[in-house]
């Protein structure tokens, strides 16, 4: 049974490497993280492949742009059915609020904070929580 607290990072450059890692880990982890390296190399096909195998996907692309562009990008990514997405807090409260309104609550979207002293502000954006890197 999967430990829902565990997220395995598929920080690899190819589909073959990702498939090997997923095969090895199987259902022992709760989520598989697809970041920029793998997503930029393969596009949505890797997310589709994982979802076809009933895997939960954290799409870690740290959306950060002008508010409307970030919101529309988020809506486009939701077509892939990721379970978690993130936006980067450096985009500001307006961008995060617009992104939160734009996706209509499908899936979970979390702001990625790089300043813990401001995390209290992020709850007002309509997003599902905040996470920070361990070294921040």
- Of the candidates 33, 51, 56, 62, the residue annotated as catalytic is 62
Kindly report the number of other CB atoms within 10 A of residue 117's CB atom. 7
Distances from the Cα of 53 to the Cαs of 46, 47, 61, in angstroms?
11, 10, 21
55 has catalytic annotation = no
Reported as half-sphere exposure (CB side, CA atoms, 13 A), residue 72 has a value of 5
DSSP 39-104: HHHHTTHHHHHHHHTT--EEEEEEE-SSHHHHHHHHHHHHTT--SEEEEEGGGHHHHHHHHHHHTT
Report the catalytic residues: 62
């Amino acid at each position: 049974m999967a430990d829902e607290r565990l997220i395995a990072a598929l920080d690899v450059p190819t589909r073959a490497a990702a498939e090997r890692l997923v095969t090895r880990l199987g259902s022992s982890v709760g989520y598989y993280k697809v970041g920029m390296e793998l997503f930029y190399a393969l596009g949505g096909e890797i997310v589709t492949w994982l979802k076809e195998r009933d895997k939960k996907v954290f799409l870690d692309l740290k959306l950060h742009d002008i508010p409307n562009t970030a919101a529309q990008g988020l809506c486009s990514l939701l077509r892939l059915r990721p379970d978690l997405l993130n936006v980067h807090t450096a985009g500001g409260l307006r961008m995060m609020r617009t992104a939160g309104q734009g996706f209509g609550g499908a899936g979970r979207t979390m702001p990625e904070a790089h300043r813990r002293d401001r995390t209290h502000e992020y709850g007002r954006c309509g997003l599902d929580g905040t996470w920070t890197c361990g070294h921040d």
